[in-house]
Amino acid sequence: MGRALRLVANANDSFANENRQIIEPVPTADEQLLDAYSRAVTNAVEKVSPSVVNIDVVGQVRGRRSNYQRMPEEMRGNGSGFIFTPDGYILTNSHVVHDATKIEVTLSDGRRYQAELVGDDPDTDLAVIRINAPNLVAAKLGDSQSLKAGQVAIAIGNPYGFQCTVTAGVISAVGRSFRSNSGRLIDNIIQTDAALNPGNSGGPLVSSRGEVIGVNTAIILRAQGICLAIPVNTAKFVVGPLMKDGKIRRSYIGVGGQTVPLPRRVINFHNLPVESGILVISIEENSPAQKAGLLERDVIIGFDEQPIANIDDLHKVLTHERVGVRSRLAILRRSEQLVLDIVSEESKATAIE
């Protein structure tokens, strides 16, 4: 009887095993989607992470008094970057390496190299540095023009020195604007909820295809899930001049001003295409603006047939193509509309606008 019971038990176990194989649950659509999402993120990280670097910088403390011993002579910082050419060119944020006296790069495999600053553009918060090292893996640059809200976005960087940290989310919005440390407005900024922290700056924002679509640059303090990246198409435009000349050439006219609304009667009387303009508060000595006869309290409303309603409009037209070119500056002087001939010059570090 005992043997019979054992045989029955064995038979039942075998039948149960067969049934378990037959009725094993099929993954739900949500489970399949999550699995596909995990594979996409993993594959993208595997492609790009060998190109991501940690950047340690040392800079001189500005404004330090020689007789004040408690303030350190040097300031240390940390950021991220990524290799974009096999011969060692690395893209990062300007604010990571600007004014650095020493730059050290750590690769994903642990190798460490001294880096040189090739070019720096605070107006777009981008910079290029270079290391001399063998066997480097360059990240593939994508196209930020075709991005849409809702796409997967993956950030790779070194927050607080934790190397090759991965965070993932979606593109929250495109076409945002962000003001750089220099005061210029950066257009077409990517907003994402992929978590960023100090040290992520300069690292890549990556698509699910493993292509760099942006350069992580900032977070909105006291907000949750609002992080910003400079589009890779802007970076493509900037890196060439930075590698060639070390800077981006832009023009300037030498004025300081603020955006002010225009009286309705003035708008109607002159049939103006703008409802605001730039009130000139200061004029740099020997600048294009002074040479053209611009005066304080004048209001700029146009530049070469382009309506100028605010400071950002003026920034957009003052490109490198305007350097040395005679242009027409439309202004309001009291209630009179005038046009001045002005020749923009190449911008200088000390220029106001």
pLDDT digits (tens, 9 = 90+) for 288-312: 999 999 999 999 999 998 999 998 8
User: Residue length, the chain?
Assistant: 353
Is residue 95 flagged as an active site residue?
A: yes
**pLDDT value of residue 7:** 37
Q: What is the CATH number of domain 251-346?
A: 2.30.42.10
CA distance 251 to 345: 5
CATH code for the part of the protein at 31-60+72-243: 2.40.10.120
Task: Compute CA distances 65 → 62, 68, 102, 163, whole Å.
Answer: 9, 5, 21, 35
SS3 call for 122:
coil
High-pLDDT (> 70) share of the chain, % = 86
Q: Could you say which of 94, 172, 201, 207 is catalytic? A: 201
Please confirm, yes or no, whether 335 is among the known catalytic residues: no
Query: For the segment 185-205, what is each residue's pLDDT rounded down to a tens digit?
Result: 888 899 999 988 888 999 999
Catalytic residue among 125, 207, 287, 313: 125
CA distances from 348 to 24, 287, 296, 344, 351 (A): 71, 11, 21, 12, 5
Q: Which of 95, 120, 207, 347 is catalytic?
A: 95
What are the pLDDT digits (tens) for 56-93?
999 876 655 555 455 556 788 899 999 999 999 999 99
Domain with CATH 2.40.10.120 in the chain: 31-60+72-243
How is residue 323 written in tokens? 């350097």
Residue given tokens 């796409």 in the structure block: 151
The pTM is what?
A: 0.77
CA–CA distance, 71 with 49 (Å, rounded to integer)? 37
Give the residue among 123, 79, 83 at the shortest CA–CA distance from 100. 79
CA gyration radius for the chain?
Answer: 28
3-state secondary structure of 338: strand
Tell me if residue 125 is catalytic: yes
Which residues have C-beta within 8 Å of that of residue 256, sequence separation ≥ 6? 280, 281, 282, 283, 284, 352, 353
Q: Where exactly does CATH 2.30.42.10 map onto the chain?
A: 251-346
